[in-house]
């Protein structure tokens, strides 16, 4: 299963990347519908291998999962994911310099089931795809608005 999103954020490229990779903020506040990120390893972000536990509600039930920082290319790309016996999930966050105060942002989520139970969950998610994409879009639009407001305040 794949989900994707693209947009332009009206802030400088470096500013957008620094805001989007503010791991300390995620650990305190969470992101979008995700609960705060609870560190679960001695490795701390921005080091590759940092891991967190978080949760989100899906179909009226809290769903807990862990995330790991797989890749971090300064000002360009961040990849978070979870590879387990049940799932192989990667979330790619890419940033591209468009203009002095415009950043191209793209997100790609790739999820593969490694078990029958996981396959059933991914099929359920697929059925709710429209609602999930709408929620994801709202979360990313809110992120962009907060970045733009912060940039105007700090400039």
pLDDT tens sequence for the chain (155 residues): 999 999 999 999 999 999 999 999 889 988 877 888 999 999 999 999 999 999 888 767 787 889 999 999 999 999 999 998 888 999 999 999 999 999 999 999 999 999 998 898 888 888 888 988 998 899 999 999 999 999 999 87
Q: Which residues sit opposite 103 in a β-bridge?
A: 9, 97
CB atoms within 10 A of CB 61: 6
- Domain ranges within the chain, ordered by starting residue: 2-154
Could you tell me which CATH class the domain 2-154 is placed in?
alpha beta
Q: What is the pLDDT of residue 65?
A: 84
Tokens 């429209």 found at = 130
Q: In what side-by-side order are the strands of the sheet with 87-99?
A: 2-9, 102-113, 87-99, 77-83, 61-73, 51-58, 38-39
């Amino acid at each position: 299963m794949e989900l994707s999103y693209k947009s332009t954020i009206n802030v400088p490229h470096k500013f957008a990347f620094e805001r989007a990779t503010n791991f300390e903020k995620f650990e305190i506040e969470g992101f979008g519908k995700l609960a705060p990120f609870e560190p679960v390893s001695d490795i701390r972000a921005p080091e590759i291998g940092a891991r967190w536990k978080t949760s989100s509600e899906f179909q009226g039930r809290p769903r807990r999962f862990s995330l790991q920082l797989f890749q971090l290319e300064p000002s360009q790309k961040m990849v978070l994911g979870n590879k387990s016996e049940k799932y192989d999930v990667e979330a790619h966050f890419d940033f591209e310099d468009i203009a002095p105060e415009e950043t191209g942002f793209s997100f790609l989520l790739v999820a593969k089931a490694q078990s029958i139970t996981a396959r059933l969950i991914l099929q359920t998610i697929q059925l709710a795809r429209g609602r999930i994409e709408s929620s994801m879009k709202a979360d990313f639009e809110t992120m962009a608005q907060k970045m733009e407001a912060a940039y105007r305040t700090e400039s």
